[in-house]
Structure 1
């Protein structure tokens, strides 16, 4: 009996040890994933932000603050018409190249997820070879849906222009939450180029003010549109007029030369030619923020 009691006690002790080891191993695995922490970057949010669902991003990237989120439109037509619409391929490529060269990872999101429209007329001859760039094109064919995105991963958002940028993006509440989380909780940068500026006109700070209020903003102004064309009649709003109505100061120049405005952590570009200098300006802002917050610099991915 004593022998049997000893064996039973030993088995129970061994079982307890094994179960404790499994639990401790699982706890160690869970604690290996770092939490998003804002260090030394001033934020403008006083109320908590509701987190958006985590994206299907490789675990090795989770927790990194070296990612930039490209926000693109899904619409293939202008408004309710049958007029074809597209993202601006060059505004993707030139910014992608700049951000990647600076060591930042890039992800894509669109209202509907999946492939975004790319019309031939939006692909200049020098960029045709990039249509075979596998990493780039895989991203554009498989954009995430807004609910898949974890905004804690990103240091900046970049609103891409194109003729479809006024549809689906500006009024999407989840995309708005993502952008404002990056800006207010992560202390990150909001950027937009050309018609992509339409995406930021409805963004609102935690205190209720419009993001653009009191800021110098640029984008593709309505006076540069073909106002007698059918596509223009489909526009739900006008960029310059809406920025001004929200309290922003809109600036643009004549011609097709690059023109950007950087006001605090909001950076905007007027036209297609502004994509690269805008991306360079965003990189500059992120480097300054990284200097203020050591340990949150760029990550290659």
Structure 2
């Protein structure tokens, strides 16, 4: 049985704005639906474990409601509690919270690197690629170095008015690690597959990114 892991942020504060953040529910729910419909087992992991904070919840969205009813958000494990050999892929869901805790979670980075190095897929959508900024392989190279990637763009960050709130600009940080970042028009679907690395630009890219992961797994 193919098993896929969806990684979620545990960070709930949007900088100093007084606003809350967390994982963007659609960016976990839509991939979960694609994976489960494909017959995959899906587990969750979060930076701090326990119940991660939610953002962007649409109570009228049937996929989100089905996801929330099916998963156990109250008891997510941390990366250190999981074994990379159990998983064929990991997908980092977005949400602005990821910008604060994904890049510095060494256990999560190690787990993803191990999944990748044993032939698995690493995927991320929207701000989820923040997890890739400091992700190194065992040879010391950055996973994204020389890879074509998508991720929330500088223009999109400006459009939502958070350029000066986030700790760094995601597209710039990925480029600094050697990635080749491909921006599409604001809030249009954009998914890029480069080998076993699959990245999506924004919430509109969550479903297509998950479908691309399924395709890579089935071609392996």
> Quick one: which of 205, 217, 220 aligns to 1:274?
205
Q: Tell me if 1:144 matches 2:80.
A: no
Q: 1:264 to 1:127 in 2, by over 3 A?
A: same
Report the aligned-residue RMSD: 2.0
Give SS of 2:23's match. coil
Q: How far 1:80 moved relative to its partner? A: 5.5
Larger Rg: 1
Measured at CA, do residues 252 and 148 of structure 1 come closer, stay the same or move farther in structure 2, by a change above 3 Å?
same
Counterpart of 1:203 in structure 2 is 135
- Deviation, 1:126, is 2.2
Q: How many residues align?
A: 220
Equivalent position SS for 1:226: helix
Structure holding more helix per residue: 1
Question: Is the 2:154–2:171 contact (alpha carbons within 8 Å) kept by the matching residues of 1?
Answer: yes
Structure 1: which 5+ runs fail to align?
A: 1-63, 290-301
TM-score for the superposition, normalised by structure 1:
0.69
1:57-136 alignment to 2 at 5 Å?
A: 66-79=2-15, 82-119=18-55, 121-123=56-58, 125-127=60-62, 130=65, 133-136=68-71
- Distance verdict in 2 for CA 1:219–1:228, change over 3 Å: closer
Q: CA deviation at 1:206?
A: 1.7
The answer as to 2:188 corresponding to 1:253 is: no
Name the structure where strand makes up a greater proportion of residues. Answer: 2
CA contact (8 A) 1:109 1:143 kept: yes
Secondary structure at 1:262 match in 2: strand
Q: Distance in 2 between matches of 1:76 and 1:114?
A: 13
Q: Which runs of 5+ in 2 are unaligned?
A: none
Output the CA distance in 2 between the equivalents of 1:165 and 1:131.
Answer: 23
